[in-house]
Structure 1
Amino acid sequence: MASFPPVPSFAQLVRSPVLLLAFGFGSGCARKAPGTFGTLAALPLTYLLLLLPLPGYLAVVLLAGVLGIWICHAASRKLEVHDHPGIVWDEFVGLWVTCIALPAGWWWPLLGFGLFRLFDIAKPWPISWLDRHVHGGLGIMIDDILAGLFAAVVIQLLALILS
């Protein structure tokens, strides 16, 4: 089993806005399941974002995704580790993609959390292919964005079935 790369200290996170965001405000520093902890940290922000009208929500998610490509790339370069497990900004954006146009109800974001983690961990095709073949900040972000899209489709289909 590969060793877990060193994580930045709290002082390093505070001094570097790029690392602070990339490591999900510290949630990515968890030694076990940093992606899950990062997604959990994104959940309260998701509930806040869901208060926005849909165009505002989409604008925030688009901006977070575009900035995320740069944030993840810059953090990887700074740490000299491609896709460090502690970089979880991609999980934040992936969950936010999952939760686009959710039906009303507090449980939908929780279902989104579970479905997003399922697709992010299982990486069905073409997520697995993108994860292996796209590099840099875009490579870090794209598999989570696609996992979020897969999860969003499942949620929308469930909502349609249940309505």
Structure 2
Amino acid sequence: MSANPSGPAPRDPAMTLDAGQTAKVMRPTARFMLSHPAHLIAMGFGSGLSPVSPGTVGTLYGWLSYVVISMWVQPFTWLWLIAGGFVLGLWACNRTARDMGVHDHGSMVWDEIVAIWLVLAFVTPTSFWGQFAAFLWFRLFDIAKPAPIGHYDRSLKGPGLRGAFGVMFDDVLAAFYTLLVFAIWRSI
């Protein structure tokens, strides 16, 4: 006798839903996050598990990690760390999205972390208040998603590496908008 009783096979929770079906996405746990290195990275080493504003908490974690890591690396090295972090994010967000069955779950905050690193790499050296302004502008653009950020956020959603690229890319665009604000502000 088989372990499965006769009848339809159980549905894989990571499968795509048919039209008209809905799914309740459970809040990921620390156990889920620690079950695979990709989950740990995508969830910002726990910052994405915040029950309130995980994107903001992930951005704060990115800011703090930038300050700490900057004690040991040269400014030019940040460009390599950001590029590597982007590629790492493609893998981590792809795997985590697949395992969660959700293309861009709010707990996946690696995109915010890499994007704030990009912003801070270009606005530094600046004071604490300059970094705080960069944080606020970045969060504004990431939340509001002005054109074309919103377009890419919607059009690049989906499974696989294309979807993971979309997760990462819209935050990179928000970072560029933030850098544009700083460039205009500094030129005045």
Q: What's the TM-score once normalised by structure 1's chain length?
A: 0.89
The whole-number CA distance in structure 1 between the counterparts of 2:187 and 2:119 is: 16
Give the CA deviation at 1:67: 1.2
* 13-22 vs 80-89, which moves further: 13-22
Match of 1:72 among 93, 97, 111: 93
Is the 1:47–1:109 Cα contact (8 Å) retained in structure 2?
A: no
Question: Rg larger in 1 or in 2?
Answer: 2
Equivalent in the alignment of 1:158: 185
Partner of 2:84: 63
Matched residue, 2:164:
137
In the alignment, is the contact (CA less than 8 A) between 1:99 and 1:152 conserved in 2? no
The alignment partner of 1:85 has SS state of coil
Q: Work out the percentage of aligned pairs sharing the same amino acid.
A: 36
| Counterpart residue identity of residue 83, structure 2 | L
> How far, CA to CA, are the matches of 1:128 and 1:138 in structure 2?
14
Q: Structure 2: any 5+ residue segments left out of the alignment? A: 1-21, 158-162
The one-letter code sitting in structure 2 at the alignment partner of 1:122 is: A
Post-superposition shift, 1:138? 0.3
Name structure 1 gaps, 5 residues minimum.
Answer: none
Q: Partners in 2 of 1:27 and 1:4 — Cα distance?
A: 22
**TM-score normalized by the length of structure 2:** 0.78
1:1-150 alignment, distance < 5 Å: 5-51=25-71, 52-102=73-123, 103-135=125-157, 136-150=163-177
Mapped to 2, the partners of 1:48 and 1:108 lie a distance apart of 17
C-alpha displacement of 1:3: 8.9
- Name the one with the larger helix percent: 1
Q: 1:56 to 1:139 in 2, by over 3 A?
A: same
RMSD between superposed Cα atoms in Å: 1.9
Deviation for aligned residue 1:152:
1.4
2:30 touches 2:49 (CA, 8 Å); kept in 1? no
What code does the residue aligned with 1:157 have? I
Q: Give the length in aligned residue pairs.
A: 160
